[in-house]
Copies of this chain bind each other. A is one copy, B any other.
């Protein structure tokens, strides 16, 4: 998150009194492409790509603010996410990525304050979640894809601008006697640097606690030797040598990369059909029941056997079934999270042939050394992680005709509950084959959660014997009773009880407080160890959400609402 220089917002505009009652936010689309970017430029020059932030001031996603001084809103971040994805899939030749700014003196002033001030609580929270995920994706590219991101700060990086830099592997600041890195959220806005800032400063940059405290309370920030000594940046270089230093670092990172070069996979537009109560893709459909505040999502298994080898996989590109499913699922998650906040329960089903799913699942492991398959595996991992931090109740329903195997079983394991029909629906299709599920090695390490555990490890946390039993059954087709015995489903019920149970569960869920469900799910889903990533979504985000809703930030006299008015926040001075 955050922050603009004091002079950037228009003091004569006043924020609405009750932002949560403000006009409904627009429907958000996540489709974009470099030739449509308004805020970023993506240049590829051999092994090195450059993404340049040059925000179109009048290009805000929502009316009511101007994106001055390279400040950003969700629309700016959607383009960044697109660029991150394209670099990984379309550019196997790109081995390092330079992130820099297109303005003089200001690299990026962070999230636009006027936007934050006028946004509802839900919008702010969802915006921060998406920006956090994108920054985690940048780190994932550096860590797992041989694409090292380097922040070339050609001017001040303030608040969310510095948090962008923090997501990069290296941070180089121009030494012009003026440009700084800073986290002015606490002193100027009364909120946190909540897009990973506080956590990454101490847990990634390893800045000492007391220095982090000085830094996060000093609005103007630091530069020069202090910034380097403390670990806030990796280097600071005069303008005349800046480009050379960035080139040198980018070249060095590229030469250490194992990315293969060659042809990429073009991310063509998704084939999506949408009506008021249905969103449909070739391999995925979502049916909305607004009265029940629920969406029923069905993932379709593959129609054909997997292609023969890595070359054939690559030539299928976006049509390779696991890739197509992942892209569609990613898009659907983002759309539902952003545009459908009242649909509190997501019910997941699958349909298809488990054998086919398993064939693809095995291929993901067999071709793990292929760059495209590896990228796809990481993408599916990130998509499952989106589910883990999605503030919706996730229920998997496992019925005849389903194909919860391997990578698709991950969806069930990521869910809060798994209901499995024992036998068949006697009234509907007595001749059907009863449902089975199949765990594979994919469920035990190919798609680790943010806490570093596989979903099997997480499920059986502290129960080594049960984990071993589940591992022993990897590859077996488990019917409802066996799945229940193996601890892989919440409940196995025959058809007499099943439909009633599901109906009651969904009705009950819809009757509960959405906030308490969000908090409960966020605690249950992250058993065991925490990592920098889960700390960002747990400790940091939860505190930020609390602060966002406190009058000291978002009340009429709060700092966030008063910012730019010439008046400071009028604080309730009590510590809570």
Measuring CB to CB, which residues of chain A are less than 8 angstroms from any residue of chain B? 121-122, 125-126, 185-187, 189-192, 198-199, 202-203, 206, 208-214, 216-217, 293, 341-344, 391-392, 415-418, 458-463, 487, 490, 508-530, 535, 538-540, 542-547, 549-550, 552-553, 559, 568-569, 571-576
The answer to whether B206 touches A576 (Cβ under 8 A) is no
The answer to whether A575 touches B217 (Cβ under 8 A) is no
The answer to whether A186 touches B512 (Cβ under 8 A) is yes
A487 cross-chain contacts in B, Cβ below 8 A: 208
Closest to A194 in B: B519
The answer to whether A186 touches B543 (Cβ under 8 A) is no
Closest 9 CB pairs between A and B? Answer: A190-B513, A542-B542, A206-B462, A519-B543, A530-B530, A538-B539, A198-B523, A210-B490, A341-B574
Cβ contacts A to B, 8 pairs, < 8 Å = A203-B461, A203-B462, A203-B528, A216-B524, A342-B574, A514-B552, A530-B530, A542-B546
The answer to whether B213 touches A574 (Cβ under 8 A) is no
The answer to whether A524 touches B213 (Cβ under 8 A) is yes
> Looking at the complex, which one of B192, B216, B513, B518 makes contact with A569 (CB distance below 8 Å)?
B513
A416 cross-chain contacts in B, Cβ below 8 A: 209-210, 213
With A210-B415, A542-B546 known, 6 other A-B pairs at CB within 8 A are A122-B576, A186-B516, A190-B515, A213-B520, A342-B574, A530-B530
> Looking at the complex, which one of B417, B510, B519, B571 makes contact with A547 (CB distance below 8 Å)?
B519
A122 cross-chain contacts in B, Cβ below 8 A: 574-576
Q: Contacts A186-B520, A209-B416, A539-B542 hold; do A202 and B527 have CB atoms under 8 A apart? A: yes
CB distance from A173 to the nearest CB of B (A): 21
The answer to whether B203 touches A575 (Cβ under 8 A) is no
Closest to A538 in B: B539
The answer to whether A214 touches B490 (Cβ under 8 A) is yes
Q: Contacts A190-B515, A513-B186, A547-B516 hold; do A490 and B211 have CB atoms under 8 A apart? A: yes
Closest to A569 in B: B513
The answer to whether A545 touches B576 (Cβ under 8 A) is yes
Cα(A518)–Cα(B573), bound, Å: 12
Q: How many copies does the complex hold?
A: 2
The answer to whether A523 touches B192 (Cβ under 8 A) is yes
Cα(A535)–Cα(B490), bound, Å: 25
CB distance from A338 to the nearest CB of B (A): 11
Q: Contacts A462-B206, A529-B530 hold; do A513 and B559 have CB atoms under 8 A apart? A: yes
Cα(A27)–Cα(B463), bound, Å: 47
CB distance from A530 to the nearest CB of B (A): 4
The answer to whether A391 touches B552 (Cβ under 8 A) is no
CB distance from A396 to the nearest CB of B (A): 9
Q: Contacts A214-B417, A513-B559 hold; do A543 and B540 have CB atoms under 8 A apart? A: no
> Looking at the complex, which one of B198, B206, B574 makes contact with A514 (CB distance below 8 Å)?
B574
> Looking at the complex, which one of B203, B214, B510, B539 makes contact with A522 (CB distance below 8 Å)?
B539
CB distance from A131 to the nearest CB of B (A): 16
> Looking at the complex, which one of B191, B210, B391, B418 makes contact with A516 (CB distance below 8 Å)?
B191
Cα(A526)–Cα(B202), bound, Å: 9
A189 cross-chain contacts in B, Cβ below 8 A: 516
CB distance from A501 to the nearest CB of B (A): 11
Q: Contacts A293-B573, A341-B574, A459-B208 hold; do A187 and B515 have CB atoms under 8 A apart? A: no
Closest to A212 in B: B524
CB distance from A272 to the nearest CB of B (A): 22
The answer to whether B513 touches A576 (Cβ under 8 A) is no
A125 cross-chain contacts in B, Cβ below 8 A: 576
The answer to whether B552 touches A515 (Cβ under 8 A) is yes
CB distance from A543 to the nearest CB of B (A): 4
> Looking at the complex, which one of B192, B216, B512 makes contact with A217 (CB distance below 8 Å)?
B512
Q: Contacts A213-B417, A417-B213, A490-B211 hold; do A571 and B527 have CB atoms under 8 A apart? A: no
Cα(A574)–Cα(B545), bound, Å: 15
Most buried by B among A191, A509, A530: A530
Q: Contacts A209-B416, A417-B210 hold; do A572 and B514 have CB atoms under 8 A apart? A: yes
The answer to whether B552 touches A549 (Cβ under 8 A) is no
A576 cross-chain contacts in B, Cβ below 8 A: 121-122, 125-126, 341, 391, 514-515, 518, 545
A121 cross-chain contacts in B, Cβ below 8 A: 576
Cα(A72)–Cα(B540), bound, Å: 31
CB distance from A321 to the nearest CB of B (A): 28
A510 cross-chain contacts in B, Cβ below 8 A: 573
The answer to whether B524 touches A418 (Cβ under 8 A) is no
Cα(A438)–Cα(B535), bound, Å: 33
The answer to whether A575 touches B392 (Cβ under 8 A) is yes
CB distance from A517 to the nearest CB of B (A): 7
> Looking at the complex, which one of B198, B343, B530, B573 makes contact with A520 (CB distance below 8 Å)?
B198
A192 cross-chain contacts in B, Cβ below 8 A: 516, 519-520, 523
> Looking at the complex, which one of B216, B217, B459, B518 makes contact with A509 (CB distance below 8 Å)?
B217
A463 cross-chain contacts in B, Cβ below 8 A: 206
Cα(A513)–Cα(B187), bound, Å: 7
> Looking at the complex, which one of B517, B524, B540, B552 makes contact with A523 (CB distance below 8 Å)?
B540
The answer to whether A186 touches B517 (Cβ under 8 A) is yes
Closest to A293 in B: B573
A458 cross-chain contacts in B, Cβ below 8 A: 209
Most buried by B among A125, A512, A522: A512
The answer to whether B524 touches A459 (Cβ under 8 A) is no
